[in-house]
Structure 1
Amino acid sequence: MANIFTRKKSPVAAPKAVGMTARDPEVAVLDVTALPRGPVGDIAIDGAAGVVVATNPGDRSISVLDADLGSAKVVAVGGEPTLVAVAEDRAYVATASLDHEAVTVVDTHAGTVIARYPLAFSATAMTISPDGKRLYVGRTGDEDVDVAVIDITAERIGTIGIGYRPGASVDAVRLDDSGRRLYVATTSLAGSALLTVDTDTVRVVRRLRLASPIRDLALGRDGLAYVLRSDRRDGGSIDVVDLAANTVTKSVAIGGAPTQLVVNSEGTRAYVVDYDRVAVFNTLTGEIVDELTGDGSPACVAVRADGRRLYVADFAGVVTSLAVPPSPMPLTYSQFVATDRIIRPDVRELTPAV
């Protein structure tokens, strides 16, 4: 039977919860809450602290919810929040206003702003290191793009230059588990590229050119990355990238106009936000195996570290948590490459930066 998102009773006037249906009967809706703060822009999960953080751009605030979405603290952040990352009872929120661009740090337990790091220009991508000690912020300006590195312990900011091209933007940044490789997705008038940065030398060591604008990037198991691309002519697609070989091993067309992608910890499922659905992509077979659809438009998703719970937020301000069944164990990497490796004429490797 289909699962329907319903709204919890609340004494506070809130937007109507959007009904959604999962084709997979094993996907169960656990909790739903409607935030009376307007559309949700981004969402992140702090599994250790047991909280979910959602940004409220129209309200210049964030909502800090418990894992069951039963209660929420609203914290003003002094600007329009665009991105959020969380670690160790802290929410790092990229904020923009007429006066300044900054990363605002919120103590999620106390619900207070405890620090603010100024940025020279707009934050368009963000990720935090596994140990919670460094925050990487992709910045996009009129005449420059780079990655700001905020050392949270030392409270200082450095930069990684990635080379400016006309019309360039930083679309996504992701750090591997070792913290030694930072992957930066960029798009410019000359095309898109996935850059590999050595965090010790803070230099770009590899580039992989791609055919169309990049929307998001996720790291999976066994040295694989999943790059979400989309343009008006061809719609959306997912590229599977072998990071060690710096090459695309598979590309799957998914259509629509996707904007975000997250991958579960097992590396077997990717959840893709489209304009009218969340598509569930099986990374082993390269197929869409499920969809979450309904009357509302999804804005963003986050998956818990154990891969068993998914949070979906929409443009009506509704946040829903779903229990996700365990995925099949992934194939070994050698099996995957042997059966699915393809050659892409529109992708080529550049020589490492010197």
Structure 2
Amino acid sequence: MKLIHEINLPDARDMAVSPSGNTVAVCQPGSSRLSIIDAFTGTVLKVISFSQQPVSVTYSKDGMLAYVILSGHSIVEFFASDWRETKRIPYTFLESKIVTGIDNRRAYCVSNRGVHDIDVVNSTVKSHNIQSPQRSLALSPDNRLLYIVFSGGVIVFDVEKWEKAFEIRVESAERISLDPKGKRAYVGLRGFADVKVIDLSSGELVGSILSYGHVADITLDMEGLYFFILTINRANMAVYRIGDEVEKIEDVTIGSAPDCIVVAPDNRSVYVSNRSVVKKFEML
């Protein structure tokens, strides 16, 4: 991994890379700001201030729109071309990760009230109660299922029927990442140096990846060939090659309080936030 840029952004937390790979949006809840970064130069193109804390950001699949969750307040929609606000959807319970569907009209997130389906066209929110959801969720590649992390494992939620399909038990689950084909889920554990690997066709645990540090965030590359783990106490990013065997290939120092990791659509660029800077790496 080669360090390309290091951008000073106090309290940099959740991030999203545009589908084109041209920009990176970064939430800074401590200062109630969202910063837009030029992915090629590392310069800050725009800073948007809010009266509430931005806690999650994502782009629509076509890259035309972007959505920001303001904690306990609303979802804000922007034109991603110039970051002009187009609408706000009031909803006081939203406070965690947001993902978008392929039809560019729906987004999903979780809160302490459960899971929420946001119709961004009609500005409505539909909810379903789930016990003890965490801040992590993932949408299946076919957009039919949400994988929602809760304290006892992963809830598999059918978004078409809007009901829980089944549950996979993984104690102390906190983070989740799906492989691009939707065959396996990787679940990081709260307070443990361990990531569980789940076969999604059977719901069975099929392996573990030792992280050698408490897990802060996890992700896979766009092809499911490489796996990345941010660890809190080691303050590093561990890189693994996924094949018949899981092979650790590199440790990269990140600095204190690593928080979020995102792989760009080019499948080479990797962005990491650690609550003080955003670092861009390239895979060699």
TM-score (norm 2): 0.90
Write the deviation string for residues 226-267 of structure 1: whole angstroms up to 9, x where unpaired: 111132xxx221111111111111122323211211110111
Structure (1 or 2) with the greater strand fraction = 2
Name the residue aligned to 1:228. Answer: 188
Post-superposition CA distance 1:42-100 (Å, at most 9, x none): 1110122621000111221100112212342001133111111122233211212xxx4
Q: Percent identity?
A: 20
For residues 311-340 of structure 1, the C-alpha deviation after alignment (integer angstroms, 9 at most, x for no partner) is: 122222x22211113xxxxxxxxxxxxxxx
Match of 2:147 in 1: 183
Residue 59 of structure 1 is matched in structure 2 by 31
Poorly superposed stretches of 4+, deviation over 6 Å: none
Contact 2:241–2:248 under 8 Å retained in 1: yes
CA deviation string 1:205-243 (max 9, x = no partner): 1111112x2221111044111111132xxx221111111
Distance 1:252 1:49, change over 3 A: closer
**1:156-235 aligned within 5 A:** 156-162=124-130, 164=131, 168-187=132-151, 192-211=152-171, 213-222=172-181, 223-231=183-191, 235=192
Match of 1:268 among 214, 220, 225: 225
For 2:143 and 2:254, how far apart are their aligned partners in 1? 39
Equivalent pairs counted in the alignment come to 277
Q: What is aligned with 1:21?
A: none
Output the amino acid matched with 2:124: R
1:280 equivalent in alignment to 2:239: yes
Distance in 2, matches of 1:252 and 1:60, equals 36
Contact kept? 1:64, 1:108, Cα under 8 Å:
no
Q: Are the equivalent residues in 2 in contact too, given 1:135–1:152 (CA < 8 A)?
A: yes
Following TM superposition, by how much is the alpha carbon of 1:105 offset from its aligned partner in structure 2, in angstroms? 2.1
In structure 2, the gaps of 5 or more residues are: none
Counterpart for residue 7 of structure 1:
none
Q: How does 1:41-190 map to 2 (within 5 A)?
A: 41-48=13-20, 50-68=22-40, 69-87=42-60, 88-96=63-71, 100-140=72-112, 145-162=113-130, 164=131, 168-187=132-151
| Alignment of structure 1 residues 224-263 onto 2, 5 Å | 224-231=184-191, 235-263=192-220
3-state DSSP class of the match of 1:47?
Answer: coil
SS in 2 for 1:65: strand
Report the alpha carbon displacement of residue 294 of structure 1 after superposing the two structures with TM: 5.0
Deviation at 1:155, TM superposition (A): 2.3
Larger Cα-atom Rg: 1
> Does structure 2 conserve the Cα–Cα contact (< 8 Å) formed by 1:173 and 1:182?
yes
CA distance in 2, matches of 1:64, 1:264: 22
Task: Find the aligned partners of 1:29 and 1:59 in 2 and give their Cα distance.
Answer: 26
**In structure 1, what is the Cα distance between the partners aligned to 2:29 and 2:44?**
20
Aligned equivalent of 1:312: 272
Rounded to whole Å, the distance in 2 between the matches of 1:84 and 1:277 is 23
Provide closer, same or farther for how the CA distance between residues 180 and 169 of structure 1 changes in structure 2, counting only shifts above 3 A. Answer: closer
Instruction: Tell me the SS of whatever aligns to 2:30.
Output: helix
Equivalent position of 2:250 in the other structure? 290
| Structure 1 unmatched runs, 5+ | 1-26, 326-354
Matched, 1:301 2:261: yes
Tell me, in whole angstroms, the C-alpha distance in 1 between the residues paired with 2:78 and 2:120. Answer: 13
